[in-house]
Structure 1
Amino acid sequence: WAQYYEDRYDHPGWVCPNYLIIWGKDPLYSSPDGFFGHAIIDLMKRGSKLIVIDPRVTWLATRAEFHLQLRPGTDAAVGMGLLRVIINEGLYDRDFVENWCFGFDELADAVQEWTPEKVQEVSWVEPQALVGAARAFATNAPSSGIWGVALDQSKASTQAGQCFLSIMAICGYLDVPGGIAITKPTSFIGKWRYEMSDTISPEMAAKHIVDPTGKYGLFNAGAAMGGVQGDTLLNWLEGMYKDYDCYYDLKMVWMIGTNPLACMADQPQRWYEAMKPLEFVVCQDIFMTPTIMALADVVLPLSTFAEHDGLVTPNFGRNQHFIGAMNKALDNPNTKSDLEILIDMGKRLRPELWERFDSVDQFFDEQLRANYDFGLDDVRDVPAKMAGYEYRKYEKGLLRPDGEPGFDTMTSMVELRSIVLENYGEGGVPYYEEPEFSHVSKPELADEYPLYYTTGGRNISMFHSEHRQVPSMRAMHPWPLVSIHPDVAARFGISEGDWVRVTTPQGHMVQKALLNETVNDKFIHVEHGWWFPEQDGEAPNLYGVWKANANNLIPHESTGITGYGAPYKNGICKIERVDSLDD
């Protein structure tokens, strides 16, 4: 919020939000994407009150006015329940809705069935807490919010995101002091990526891997800047589409700073087997990882942040609030940065695009000057260049490329009913879809898998699959932990520190028991991204990457219509005590 200004909270343009919705996010431990999590504490000290929507009892949840402790994967149901209260009680900003929103009547109709009692039946959230949170948020302008990957990682992620944005919009909290910030339509990194996607030749574009049966139209249309939908890629590698004319054999893969077998891929052993036949695999990274040991033919060693020049920007897409410089402090002649490698390769593969760049500095300077009135040296001389902020840009024609008032959408308004989603076969207004694996959708599995699970909560010393090999970081958090309510642990004969096997219909993994009440007696929490650098790195062990891997539990191809959203954070499971990590 105040990160747009050099003088932060003292800037006259900054206003403290009265309430913050923190939805599916634990920013004190994740500080994600350029957002400094401690800013929440700063706002609390200045008077902000919290509404936390999270299955777990986080530190922030214990300080919240309202904690909506929902069943994992039911975010869209909670969102529609909040919307119903705000709409039916007339708590929304009528002027903003009438002048700047499209599809309000359709949204209002869509949420009518979501009474507080129905929301409780589906999501476990108490009606009193739901209604209280909705009223507090809508009647205390200005207020704001932030969501985490919990909303992204469910089959109904698109609908959950629609709910969040619709709540902010109808309350009148978009692009106003103390509300949700919106910056220039193209950010520094996003602009370059979109421009490069436009330089692909027709022949190369025709090889874009898409599901040949017609699924995931929105994803395949380029919304992900030419990326491949993950389930489709695994199906392709496994030969599912060999009988289609569009199919061709993939020959190689180039992995840039990624460790998919430990961190990203659902059903990781399937990905391992599917990628082994590739003729050539290149990986570039700072450390040897399980993925490198499993698949790489060539490893390009990367420099660390202290060994190369670069830029730091937030990964909030079109909400870039600062740009900072990484100034090289050490020389390591045996490494290069990602961008140095890419420029070298670009000159060989696409010289017409890359030959003008003699250095990384030149590349960064050109990109900065194309978007701002300063260059790389100007950024190097200060801790960070702050973007500054102008409010209510939609009234002044500052959001649309045609310079007209409004938002950069097909209707020039905030689309509570999305025309784009409708064009790709998705519902224009939010709806609820039960997760594929739950006691509701699969009641026949409830006895065998009596618990729900969620994954992905961060700890202070590690980020995803990084830092397991750093002794000081590992000492702070030596083992993967499964959080279990003490009453649940007693039912299954599990004590603190026991090894516990967690099993789902898709697979199993083993972690150490941590008994606490941050989870209730209906679900457990397992950590993700684990591998063990002290173990044998050669196949088949691969630093023990399969042993405590939360992604063993995740189903393949359980996404929404758009191709976005997969149930990394919700499912059903059973637990049992075992003797060791290897059981």
Structure 2
Amino acid sequence: MADYKEFLDSINRDAYHAGEYQWEEDGYTVTRTYHYSPPGCHSSCGLLYYVKDGKVEFVEGDPLDPCANGRLCMRCLNRVEAINHPDRLKYPMKRAGERGENKWERITWDEAYDIVERETRKVWEEYGPESILCTKGTARGTVWQLHYFFQAAFKTANVAHIGFTGYACYLPRTCGCIAPMGDFPIVDASQAHPDRYIADEFRPPEVLVVWGNEPLASNADGYIGHWLVQCVQMGSKIISIDPRLTWWGARAEFWLPVRPGTDAALACAWLNIIINEDLYDHEFVEKWTTGFDVIKEHVQEWTAERAAEICQIPVEDVIGSARLFASGNSSAIQWGLAFDQNMSAMALNLAAVDLMAICGNIDTPGGWLLVHNAYNVSRGSDNGVKWVDPEAAKKKATMHYVFNTDGEDFIHQAASEAVLHCMETGEPYPIKMWYAQSTNELACAAMDAPRLYKALKDIPFIAYADPFLTPTAVALADVVMPVAMSCERNSARSWWTPVRTLSKVTSYYEAKSDEEIIVELGRRLNPDAFPWETAEDFVNWFLTPQAGLASFGTKASANNQLDQKRFSEEFPFAGDLEGLQKAGGHAYDKFNATYRKYEKGMLRPDGEPGFATPTGRIELSPFTFKVWGLTPWPYFKEPPTGPVTSPGMFKEYPLILTCGGRSFEFFHSEDRQEPTMREFHQWPLLTVHPNDAERYGIRDGEWVWVESDRGRFRQVAYVCEKVKEGVVHAEHAWWYPEQKAEAPYFFGTFDSNVNNLTRAYEAGEGGVGSAIKNGICKIYPYREGDEMPYQVVADRDSWNEIIPGSDPYEVY
């Protein structure tokens, strides 16, 4: 598709029923719509569902969709197996035996709602709403819906990913760029233009830095990885910064396999080189930024030689890559979880903003595009806070409230470390109820999964909603409710552009959509906050001019009154989900397609030129960081364990352990039930360099133990040079639906779980960021008859004994 116009001209538009939303074809009803979770990644691609007799029989990419142009990853192409899978939850159920026995009794939806309502009101009366914890999974298809639901229905401010230390997924990036810039950036790959790559102003990045992620496999937040492949076909040069050799690294001008957790040292060195070699954009820095002298002073110690030694990469690559980045008329950083799962998380994110800003690549073609949710169709993650009980709001489990840390609380969610402290100690109050929707904490998000399992077992009531019966549900739930999949719900998304819709084309037994559960259960718990009769009414509320008053992600976001005015005037489908569905399912907002919005007065509420920051400029050393109690310039902090911080321990555990790299078959803990996916990817893989494999007696394709002072897990050795010597990479979120569900097995979720080794409470400055991607370990072959982790964790309950109240957070 290197020639986009040629591609467009090649499409038989009649064959694909251009202008139609739904049609009959060869006995099938075909619907043009978008996929979003569950299950699915953070993006939503245009597809065609082929339905016969109420059943999805076939899925095809829609070439008339300008977002994905008919391209689908294997997860979307294999939706049929997921949608029709016999192991899906079919009916609401309540626990019939002890927790973990996997004994269930079928109940009605009304009975399920009765149970949840009764237990909720019981906690309200006896303890207060703050003793209710609510958790959603990583699926972006439920951000605005579930946050409103949790806050408005349960009246609690304690909404959190429990066990997920340091808010270490996306939130550090949102806060780390909102503070210095006032808005969120994405790499410009023409996605804001309906005519995409042939848009008049668009130019692909001259230099594309793919840093700490694999966009082809992950399709990260609001992004589709193949957009960047098209940019490479159009001439973009690649710099890959990743401990693993990915598709990008194999094609890169520079592959920089930094020691995991040292990214911030490299970023500081790049700033040093670009500033001291006078490679920065003087005009942009002088006119549109502030704090340049502060940054210049604080990066002087970060020479290329120092960074090269810390990162364990050649010094000439540090210098050459920095010069290449600064040389492009348009350069862009595609960032990933490595920016969040890092002890220097906020500093690293600030460094990325500073690099982009001093090179003048903000809101330019092929640079970083500043984006808002299209037409400001936006209900932020704190959009239900007005319904939170006032006393419960004061008691939100934050680092400040529970641990007395310094700085203003700047995050709308509760802190997982603070919540865990409440669960384990009952101080400053106990957690008496957990409501979880579309999440699988034990298999995926929980850093120190054994510890979280032990803490959750003591919560008196747990309700769980999901498409499948997961290890977390079997181990802990008292009532489970079946959630509908993407093709079984009517919904909409706006993150970031265009506004897109989901259309219901089928149903599965008694499964209900997230929106249906929210409206029905919400009306029972707090009818004033849930005036809608149907799920579609709820979505239409999202699509109305009243939306957008709370920005996405963080309280630092500006309340953009200009967007609100535009939304009312320009969005043709306000409050009209059905109309937008039938019009093709998408609507592009020209705001996001406009470059250099800061020159045009489009970013500030007062309509003046500049950025939505206190100074109106990009603050290279942000004033807001000071208010938050954060260091207002880039710096590097070593991981808590490793060759520098714990040399004695490193002798016993001499390998750097990184984890979490995405695969094409799975999204986090999803899709493990699907035969096709398991045919391609049968077991969890531990990537080991050939020299390390020989040194430790590891053979390719055989099971291997990975062990630290925290415990161990096993995965299958994948011996290759995709990692350098001294580093191993483990896959995350594995469980085995084909194995025994009941205790102590829990589908084998502890046996291959890298989070047996990662630690709660190891958070970076401000309680943000974590060391999950940069631990240490040793490896050795698995032998038949070895004791399995489930026997220790779930059977004997004796792994990683924690004394309640002895939280090591202050040490770090």
TM-score range, shorter chain: over 0.9
What is the CA-CA distance between 1:577 and the residue it aligns to? Answer: 0.8
Is it true that 1:71 corresponds to 2:259 in the alignment? yes
Cα separation, 1, equivalents of 2:351 and 2:579: 41
Structure 1 runs of 4+ off > 6 angstroms? none
Does the 8 A contact of 2:203 with 2:366 survive in 1? yes
Cα separation, 2, equivalents of 1:491 and 1:216: 45
More off after superposition, 149-158 vs 340-349: 340-349
Aligned positions of 1:518-537 closer than 5 A: 518-537=722-741
Cα distance change, pair 188–579 in 1 and its aligned pair in 2 (3 A): farther
Q: TM-score normalised to the size of structure 2?
A: 0.68
User: Aligned to 1:498, which of 696, 702, 711?
Assistant: 702
What is the CA-CA distance between 1:157 and the residue it aligns to? Answer: 1.0
Does the 8 A contact of 2:239 with 2:255 survive in 1? yes
1:224 paired residue number: 411
Is it true that 1:488 corresponds to 2:692 in the alignment? yes
What is the CA-CA distance between 1:367 and the residue it aligns to? Answer: 2.0
1:335 paired residue number: 511
Is it true that 1:290 corresponds to 2:471 in the alignment? yes
User: Aligned to 2:587, which of 375, 385, 396?
Assistant: 385
More off after superposition, 295-304 vs 424-433: 424-433
Is it true that 1:308 corresponds to 2:489 in the alignment? yes
Is it true that 1:400 corresponds to 2:604 in the alignment? yes
Is it true that 1:360 corresponds to 2:535 in the alignment? yes
- Report the identity percentage: 38
What is the CA-CA distance between 1:566 and the residue it aligns to? Answer: 1.0
- Partner of 1:67: helix, strand, or coil? strand
Cα distance change, pair 163–129 in 1 and its aligned pair in 2 (3 A): same
What is the CA-CA distance between 1:181 and the residue it aligns to? Answer: 0.6
Is it true that 1:150 corresponds to 2:338 in the alignment? yes
2:422 paired residue number: 236
User: Aligned to 1:573, which of 760, 763, 777?
Assistant: 777
Cα separation, 1, equivalents of 2:663 and 2:708: 24
Cα separation, 1, equivalents of 2:433 and 2:499: 35
Does the 8 A contact of 2:373 with 2:494 survive in 1? no
Aligned positions of 1:72-221 closer than 5 A: 72-184=260-372, 191-211=379-399, 212=401, 214-215=403-404, 221=409
Aligned positions of 1:362-441 closer than 5 A: 362-370=537-545, 371=567, 372-374=571-573, 375-380=576-581, 381-388=583-590, 389-441=593-645
What is the CA-CA distance between 1:13 and the residue it aligns to? Answer: 2.4
Cα separation, 1, equivalents of 2:323 and 2:610: 28
Aligned positions of 1:455-474 closer than 5 A: 455-474=659-678
More off after superposition, 261-270 vs 465-474: 465-474
What CA deviation, in whole Å up to 9, does each residue of 1:223-267 have, x standing for no partner? 332x1111221122110x63xxxx222111010100000000011
Cα separation, 2, equivalents of 1:196 and 1:561: 28
What is the CA-CA distance between 1:206 and the residue it aligns to? Answer: 2.1
The one-letter code of the counterpart of 1:516 is C
Cα separation, 1, equivalents of 2:380 and 2:342: 29
Does the 8 A contact of 1:216 with 1:561 survive in 2? no
What is the CA-CA distance between 1:333 and the residue it aligns to? Answer: 4.9
What is the CA-CA distance between 1:199 and the residue it aligns to? Answer: 3.6
User: Aligned to 1:324, which of 497, 500, 503?
Assistant: 500
Does the 8 A contact of 2:344 with 2:765 survive in 1? no
Is it true that 1:346 corresponds to 2:547 in the alignment? no
Cα distance change, pair 32–184 in 1 and its aligned pair in 2 (3 A): closer
What CA deviation, in whole Å up to 9, does each residue of 1:519-570 have, x standing for no partner? 0111100000011111111111111111000111112211112211111111
Cα distance change, pair 110–190 in 1 and its aligned pair in 2 (3 A): farther
- Partner of 1:431: helix, strand, or coil? coil
What CA deviation, in whole Å up to 9, does each residue of 1:82-117 have, x standing for no partner? 111111111111111111112111101111111111
Cα separation, 2, equivalents of 1:513 and 1:504: 17
The one-letter code of the counterpart of 1:137 is F
- Partner of 1:182: helix, strand, or coil? strand
- Partner of 2:469: helix, strand, or coil? coil
User: Aligned to 1:60, which of 248, 251, 256?
Assistant: 248
Cα distance change, pair 79–373 in 1 and its aligned pair in 2 (3 A): same
User: Aligned to 1:29, which of 213, 217, 222?
Assistant: 217
Does the 8 A contact of 2:374 with 2:589 survive in 1? no
RMSD (CA atoms) = 1.7
2:53 paired residue number: none
1:10 paired residue number: 198
More off after superposition, 562-571 vs 381-390: 381-390
Cα separation, 2, equivalents of 1:215 and 1:560: 15
Does the 8 A contact of 2:377 with 2:544 survive in 1? no
Does the 8 A contact of 1:185 with 1:399 survive in 2? no
Does the 8 A contact of 1:237 with 1:275 survive in 2? yes
What CA deviation, in whole Å up to 9, does each residue of 1:386-431 have, x standing for no partner? 2331111112221112222211112211111021221222100011
What is the CA-CA distance between 1:485 and the residue it aligns to? Answer: 0.4
Cα separation, 1, equivalents of 2:725 and 2:321: 24
- Residue ranges of structure 2 left out of the alignment (5+ in a row): 1-188, 546-566, 789-812
1:317 paired residue number: none
Cα distance change, pair 154–215 in 1 and its aligned pair in 2 (3 A): farther
Number of residue pairs the alignment of both structures matches: 569
Cα separation, 2, equivalents of 1:278 and 1:198: 27
The one-letter code of the counterpart of 1:334 is E
Cα distance change, pair 187–410 in 1 and its aligned pair in 2 (3 A): farther
Cα separation, 1, equivalents of 2:748 and 2:486: 28
What is the CA-CA distance between 1:572 and the residue it aligns to? Answer: 1.0
Does the 8 A contact of 1:215 with 1:561 survive in 2? no
2:457 paired residue number: 276
Cα separation, 2, equivalents of 1:277 and 1:116: 51
What CA deviation, in whole Å up to 9, does each residue of 1:11-62 have, x standing for no partner? 1121111111110011111112231111121011101111111111111101
